[in-house]
Amino acid sequence: MASRSHVDINERRLRPIYDCLDNGNNKKAIQEADKVLKKQKDLTCAKVLKALALLRMGRHAEGSSLLSTIHQSEPTEEQTLNAMSICYKETQQYDKIASLYDAASKQQPNNEDILSCLFMAHVRLGNYQQQQRTAMQLHKLRPKKNPYYFWAVMSIVMQVNMQSYFLEHYHLNIHSY
């Protein structure tokens, strides 16, 4: 119960930042983030939201530097991971989303949400082997959830399709010389 109230307090503190970001008022979002960080310096999600506002204002060096520092700390909080994913999507750094969730899944290997996000990150990258590995982890974690098993099967199918495409393409290139 105490843990839930801690989450509620953080959500309440972050709400004005989210509202500013949603309304496109990035300068105000930075001010709100700074206000929250004065009271609670270790609230990682506030730092990420500040980085998002900086990125949206075109201050890429500052935003990327802040994100990089947070990424190296390997966060596992759901809010922080989601906010970082938004930053990386907006900057089209999809590989960083995968590495972010990969690090989080190593710290929390039984967290279904983190593993599901990791799987989707691999889908975005077209990394079929890692998709399969993650889907099997999910299936072992929740054997009664059939979709995870099907995700693994489809990842294998995609690997085979990709391999046969490359073999066919490579075979055609050899004969064209």
pLDDT in tens, 31-61: 999 999 999 999 999 999 999 999 999 999 9
* Domain assignment of residue 62, given as a range: 2-92
For residue 145, is it within any domain? Answer: no
For residue 83, is it within any domain? Answer: yes
For residue 73, is it within any domain? Answer: yes
Tokens of 62: 């500052």
For residue 8, is it within any domain? Answer: yes
Distance from the first to the final alpha carbon of the chain: 70
pLDDT in tens, 68-91: 999 999 999 999 999 999 999 999
Mean pLDDT, to the nearest integer, of 97-123? 98
For residue 64, is it within any domain? Answer: yes
In the predicted model, is pLDDT for residue 1 greater than 50?
no
Q: How far apart are CA 127 and CA 34, in angstroms?
A: 38
For residue 50, is it within any domain? Answer: yes
Res 2: pLDDT: 47
The total number of structural domains in the chain stands at: 1
What percent of the chain clears pLDDT 70, i.e. is strictly above it?
A: 90
For residue 177, is it within any domain? Answer: no
Q: How far apart are CA 64 and CA 50, in angstroms?
A: 11
In the predicted model, is pLDDT for residue 177 greater than 60?
no
Question: Domain holding 52: CATH number?
Answer: 1.25.40.10
Q: How far apart are CA 91 and CA 77, in angstroms?
A: 21
For residue 41, is it within any domain? Answer: yes
Residues 6 or more apart whose Cβ sits within 8 Å of residue 90? 52, 55, 56
Q: How far apart are CA 164 and CA 139, in angstroms?
A: 27
pLDDT tier at 8, thresholds 50, 70, 90:
confident
Mean pLDDT, to the nearest integer, of 145-171? 85
Alpha helices in the chain (DSSP H): 2-22, 26-39, 44-56, 60-72, 78-90, 94-107, 112-125, 128-141, 146-175
Q: How far apart are CA 177 and CA 174, in angstroms?
A: 6
